[in-house]
Amino acid sequence: MASIMHKIKAYLYENLLTDDPNDYVARVSSERTLDISSICSSAANRGGADVSAATMEHSVKLFFKETKYQLYDGYSINVGGYFTASPVIKGVFNSPTETFNTDKHSIGFQFIQGDALRSDLSSIEVDILGVADSSISISQVTDVKTNSVNDKLTPNRNLKIKGYKVKLAGDNATVGVYFVKQTTGERIKVDSTDIVNNNPSELVIVIPELLTGTYKVEVTSQFSGAVLLKEPRTATFDKTLTVQ
């Protein structure tokens, strides 16, 4: 049996796909998101790299810049067995002679984990921290235009927000979806006319005309089921999203 070298923390959430009240699913509790600079610094500091953090970061950025270039030319990429990346075309073509139309079709990328990433899973310990506060939570956001998950935002296009009790309900003025700009703290509220779907486990909204930068998504609602809460509650998604 492999020795335990890593630990992942997770909370339990009610499984909305079944009728069993004692049925739960686990979601990883991520303390923060690491960027290339953080990973290279960690590798240099703990001895996982034989070059400086700055040298490693420079090389990694060059590698991914070239990876992007080759993906844009239609190549599939195998990144050392850790993951594969391939371009994909979304949308329906209604005739054999129809050409690509940006109003109907889009280009995205599919990433699939490889054997190198799966090889040491037995060395990971999962620490269940108990049942999470299930009043309201956001589990995932998807930028529909790019099919990017928990990463990009495309202004004036749709965003899917999956979660628990995220349905917008109640007459409190704070109820709504917000984008919080990380550099200034400005909170940009989504217009009520730009709420496309409004369900307990998924919202679909139109992203406002956001400027380039990084944002966090917040959902504020009084929804709780059959009876509205007296005071609204807010869920803040823990991932930072980027408008390029």
Question: Could you tell me the CATH number of the domain that includes residue 144?
Answer: 2.70.50.70
> How many whole angstroms separate alpha carbon 243 and alpha carbon 159?
13
pLDDT (tens digit per residue) in 189-224: 999 999 999 999 999 999 999 999 999 999 999 998
* Claim to verify: residue 95 and residue 205 sit in the same structural domain: no
* Residue, of 13 and 119, whose pLDDT is higher: 119
CA-based end-to-end distance of the chain: 45
Q: Which residues contact 178 (CB under 8 A, 6 or more apart)?
A: 187, 188, 189, 190, 217, 218, 219, 220
Residue 182 tokens, joined: 């990380």
pLDDT band at residue 133 using 50, 70 and 90 as cut-offs: low
* Claim to verify: residue 10 and residue 121 sit in the same structural domain: yes
* Claim to verify: residue 68 and residue 42 sit in the same structural domain: yes
Rounded mean pLDDT of 56-63?
97
pLDDT (tens digit per residue) in 144-185: 998 889 999 999 999 999 998 999 999 999 999 999 999 898
Given 128, 152, 177, the domain boundary residue is: 128
* Claim to verify: residue 148 and residue 229 sit in the same structural domain: yes
Query: Which range, 25-29, 69-73, 237-241, has the best average confidence (pLDDT)?
Result: 69-73
Task: Look at the block and give the residue holding tokens 């700055």.
Answer: 54
* Claim to verify: residue 88 and residue 142 sit in the same structural domain: no
Inside any domain, residue 58: yes
134 has which bridge partners? Answer: none
Inside any domain, residue 1: no
Instruction: With residue 9 as reference, give the H or E element that holds it.
Output: strand 6-14
Domain that holds residue 160: 133-243
Is this prediction's pTM over 0.85?
A: no
Structural domains in the chain (count): 2
